[in-house]
Amino acid sequence: AQSVTQLGSHVSVSEGALVLLRCNYSSSVPPYLFWYVQYPNQGLQLLLKYTTGATLVKGINGFEAEFKKSETSFHLTKPSAHMSDAAEYFCAVISGNNNDMRFGAGTRLTVKP
């Protein structure tokens, strides 16, 4: 069964600094990979996804992620953090014909002024 591990439950960066949120996956078949953002008391919003094709995926709000099969990773980055980026971020995976989307435990991003 597929699974996701997010390294670091809490990441703190200064405004304008690079954001790097780490995600490693486990899947026996080529996965579909996702990053979602959740603001307090809200549902999940899709930031970006990888299904097939180009391994560098660009999403909303300046975020991007790179699928690295050899490292089983799908890390999320943003060159310059904004205060509005402070939220909880979840990495998720779907494998094969399985409709069961598996989420990581989440990483809380704090942005300091």
Partner 1 sequence: DAGVTQSPTHLIKTRGQQVTLRCSPKSGHDTVSWYQQALGQGPQFIFQYYEEEERQRGNFPDRFSGHQFPNYSSELNVNALLLGDSALYLCASSLVARTDTQYFGPGTRLTVL
Q: Name the residues that contact partner 1, by CB under 8 A.
A: 4, 32, 34, 36, 41-46, 49, 51, 90, 92, 94, 98-106
Q: Which of 41, 80, 40, 45 is nearest to 59 (CA)?
A: 45
Shortest approach of partner 1 to residue 16 CB, angstroms? 28
At residue 41, what are phi and psi to the nearest 5 degrees? 60, 30
Number of other CB atoms surrounding residue 93 within 10 Å: 23
Shortest approach of partner 1 to residue 111 CB, angstroms? 20
Angstrom distance (rounded) from CA 28 to CA 37? 26
For 71, the 3-state DSSP assignment is coil
Q: Kindly tell me which of 22 and 49 has the beta carbon lying closer to partner 1.
A: 49
Q: Kindly tell me which of 5 and 77 has the beta carbon lying closer to partner 1.
A: 5
Shortest approach of partner 1 to residue 106 CB, angstroms? 5
Q: Kindly tell me which of 30 and 79 has the beta carbon lying closer to partner 1.
A: 30
